[in-house]
Chain A
């Protein structure tokens, strides 16, 4: 029993160190994060000007998810892209599953930050048609988890190629559509006043999807990681 605790503790330590490293790297290259923030701001501001500040709830919803999708894809690729040179070094330090776990946590935090930024900007510029914030946030949370975990594996695949950035969007968009379809439909229903019972089936499917993708990532990542 003592041993199991010790092993789990060591694993946690490795994962936390890897997450810390990711934050440190990003903190040192501030232009990357600032670039994403600026990207989000510019897109929303352009939508604000283009729609002339009058926007229907259904379009608000579609726009929200579209901008979230594009800013996630733009942001997600960078992390694995910059790992390429360090791959061999990691072989000595951590197993593939540690690295994946760290990346998943890091991407999730990153995605949540993105959602907060996006939500704040949306409410400021394009108004807030959401009347049930709790339900909306629950669905948003599940959708954001889906986006983050699918993009993690895809980013690790795309980073193996020379033109990873283009490949990232080609590979990620078809794969993400099921998650996006469920999340966008739910979110539209919530904006039009659906209750928890109306969307519970879809929410459950979304949870199952996330679980499947996480499980698959842990099975497949070791193969896509090692050269």
Chain B
């Protein structure tokens, strides 16, 4: 985190990767599949949102554990900002998915296990923000939210990775399919998809570092 807060070079990597993602994602050839057609390009924008969300929540989980073991308020601040960026990614993922599903699955919400799981995941983290708001003392707020954060993340993993796999889903990688392999790993998609995941995640970290710096300044101003 110290490196992320103090250095600039990785931001250029993010800009470069995302420029490549937007250009490559829209103009490089993609496989022609019935129904999906050109909408398969959403892979580079919708799926990385979920990667971003899970990575943000994972980082937040790590800082929640760190807070409980060191009791330093800055770790709680990191955890909180990571959660809010994670929620932003989740919302973008849900809405981009709904727009896409409207055209390909015929309706924005089709009771798909992964759709439900991600909605529940967001509810959990919204609840975390409400919990934060309802406590007054800084250290108590940090401690209780860290506890709930760890609990929520431990529920999130089986919710997103185990339960949807036990039933059939419209998403690839369910009902016994191993991961993406079914049709996504076309090499044309792969050369854009992996950079896209990295690019969007770095962008998320960038937003988070800005928010963290802002909150730290706010804290200093409040103390004066």
A, B bound: yes
Does B124 interact with chain A (Cβ within 8 Å)?
Answer: yes
Does B23 interact with chain A (Cβ within 8 Å)?
Answer: no
Q: Which residues of B contact A170 (CB under 8 A)?
A: 127, 130-131
Size of chain A's interface in residues, with CB distance under 8 A? 27
Closest to B157 in A: A212
B151 contact from A167, A178, A220, Cβ within 8 A: A220
A171 contact from B121, B127, B140, Cβ within 8 A: B127
Contact (A175, B152) CB under 8 Å given A205-B162, A205-B166, A220-B147: yes
Q: Does the CB pair A178–B155 fall under 8 Å? A: yes
A53, B162: Cα distance in complex, Å:
38
List chain A positions with a Cβ less than 8 A from chain B. Answer: 153-154, 157, 160-163, 167, 170-171, 173-175, 177-178, 181-182, 201-202, 205, 209, 212, 216, 220, 223-224, 227
Contact (A178, B135) CB under 8 Å given A209-B158, A223-B68: no
Within 8 A of A (CB), among B142-162: 143-144, 146-148, 150-152, 154-155, 158-159, 162
List chain B positions with a Cβ less than 8 A from chain A. Answer: 68, 120-121, 123-124, 127, 130-131, 134-135, 140, 143-144, 146-148, 150-152, 154-155, 158-159, 162-163, 166
Interface SS of A by simple majority: helix
A selection of 24 A-B contacts at a CB cut-off of 8 Å is A153-B151, A157-B131, A157-B144, A160-B144, A161-B131, A162-B134, A163-B134, A167-B131, A171-B127, A174-B123, A174-B127, A175-B151, A175-B152, A175-B155, A178-B155, A178-B158, A181-B163, A201-B166, A212-B158, A216-B150, A223-B68, A223-B147, A224-B143, A224-B144
A182, B148: Cα distance in complex, Å:
22
Closest to B139 in A: A227
B148 contact from A171, A202, A205, A212, Cβ within 8 A: A171
